Amino acid sequence: MDSSRISLRPFKLTDVDDMMLWAGDDRVTQTIRWNTLTSKEEALTFIKDVCIPHPWRRSICIDDRSIGFVSVFPGSGDDRNRADVGYAVAFEYWGQGIGTEAVKMTIPQVYSEFPEVIRLQALVDVENKASQRVLEKVGFIKEGKLRKYGYHKGKLVDLFMYSLLSTESIY
Ligand SMILES: CC(C)(COP(=O)(O)OP(=O)(O)OC[C@H]1O[C@@H](n2cnc3c(N)ncnc32)[C@H](O)[C@@H]1OP(=O)(O)O)[C@@H](O)C(=O)NCCC(=O)NCCS
């Protein structure tokens, strides 16, 4: 994938049909917290009430069409130093470097827009090798395994904690 075709931008209501193609796909949502969207109406409400007001959620676009998302949620109060990262890419685009490119593009934007955030972190299911690889390619450090850390879609899971400090990022 030519990286000049990849961009990040805020969601728009007009993304609804493109978004249904990936956010309505269980293969994409099974490893994230989102429930699979089941109708265009649900997707529209989700864009309007959740994606647009989100502190930092961007649509990953190819030629300006939505094929995924990256979210960064900054902490507050004593947690204001850190922010959690999440992302997904439409199934048909997996394995083309898009997830990696999107996270790379996210890092400088977030460190610039949220000056107090100095640590980006991601919690990844130990079985989600593709996501671990994305983080490792971008320079995140695997800090350790959080055993039986929480429920994911009804199942108790072990998670790896990854982080990248602002001083470590080369992007
Ligand atoms: C995780 C996800 C975003 C990756 O997107 P992507 O665009 O396919 O990622 P990239 O192509 O940039 O890189 C994927 C890497 O994982 C590797 N990979 C994929 N499946 C793998 C597996 N089962 N075992 C080991 N490595 C694997 C690929 O080979 C590639 O590494 P490489 O470049 O060294 O060959 C995508 O799989 C996805 O949307 N998954 C569902 C949502 C999700 O899990 N999000 C993350 C939650 S923490």
Model confidence over 83-139: pLDDT tens digits? 999 999 999 999 999 999 999 999 999 999 999 999 999 999 999 999 999 999 999
Contacts of 54 (CB under 8 A, 6+ apart): 71, 73
Average pLDDT in the chain: 97
Statement: residue 145 has pLDDT above 90: yes
Ligand 1 atom closest to the Cα of residue 88 is: 39
Nearest CA to ligand 1 atom 21: 130
The token pair that represents 78 in the structure block? 């004593």
Burial class (CB in 10 A: 0-12, 13-18, 19+), 144: exposed
- Distance from C-alpha of 109 to C-alpha of 82, rounded to nearest angstrom: 14
Q: What is the mean pLDDT of residues 54-58?
A: 98
Indicate if the pLDDT at residue 1 is higher than 90.
Answer: no
pLDDT (average), residues 29-45 = 97
Mutate to test the pocket of ligand 1, among 3, 58, 131, 132 (most ligand atoms within 8 A of CB): 131
Closest CA to 133 of 144, 121, 146, 142: 142
CA–CA dist 52, 114 (Å, integer): 18
What does the pLDDT read at residue 49?
98
Instruction: For each of the domains in the chain, give its residue range(s) and CATH number, in order of start.
Output: 3-165 (3.40.630.30)
Evaluate: CB of 9 within 6 angstroms of ligand 1. no
- What's the pTM value of the predicted model, to 2 decimals? 0.97
pLDDT at 50 over 90: yes
